[in-house]
Amino acid sequence: MHRTQAIRAYGAPHLSREPSDARRLVGKYTDLIDSFSRIPHVRANFDALVEANRRVVPFLLNALRSHENEDVREICAEILGERESADVIPYLVEAMGDECLYVRQDAEWSIEKICKLKSSALSAWLDLDWDKPSEMRSKVQHWWDANRQFIENNISFE
């Protein structure tokens, strides 16, 4: 499916507010997210979720927190970073404690992208040990608590 077709099919912002449209949208977002467990990183689906309206965010957050497939959790972390919304940072911080190394790496990358930091800046600043997820999560949480107000007040979010 071409990217434009995927966007039109899966969450174009012009959908009406009818309950049937909302149910259809829920199913489409869920299907797009679940597709990553079958076919890793389908670019059209990835792009559709990045460009979809904000109604997709709860589905991405739910999958990031609880999807059984680590590839899906990893890709959801990456998509959230591409969407560049500071509202999701607490969920990405939580994902820093994920059992899967790749989910933790993409959560860090997404936090850095959203906060306009250089790649791997958090690892360097906080001396993160990738083999200790709960310690990583705690260090990043403390960093976010200390810097949240400054970042939200001084960085332009799209």
For the chain, what percent of residues have pLDDT higher than 70?
77
pLDDT given for residue 158 in this prediction = 57
Closest CA to 29 of 9, 1, 43: 9
CB atoms within 10 A of CB 94: 16
Token digits for 32? Answer: 């797009």
Model confidence at 9, pLDDT cuts 50, 70, 90, reads very low
pLDDT given for residue 33 in this prediction = 74
Stated as kind and residue range, the H or E segment containing 145 is helix 133-154
Once rounded to an integer, what is the mean pLDDT over residues 116-134? Answer: 94
Does the CA dihedral 2-4-25-67 come out positive or negative?
positive
Stated as kind and residue range, the H or E segment containing 155 is none
pLDDT given for residue 104 in this prediction = 97
pLDDT given for residue 30 in this prediction = 77
pLDDT in tens, 42-94: 778 888 899 999 999 999 999 999 999 999 999 999 999 999 999 999 999 99
Token digits for 114? Answer: 């959203």
pLDDT given for residue 88 in this prediction = 96
Once rounded to an integer, what is the mean pLDDT over residues 125-132? Answer: 95
Cβ–Cβ under 8 Å, residues 48 and 10: yes
For the chain, what percent of residues have pLDDT higher than 90?
65
- Among the residues of 10-132, which ranges form H helices? 19-38, 43-51, 57-66, 70-83, 89-95, 101-114, 121-126
In order of their start, the domains of the chain are: 3-154 (1.25.10)
pLDDT given for residue 42 in this prediction = 72
Instruction: Specify the pTM.
Output: 0.75
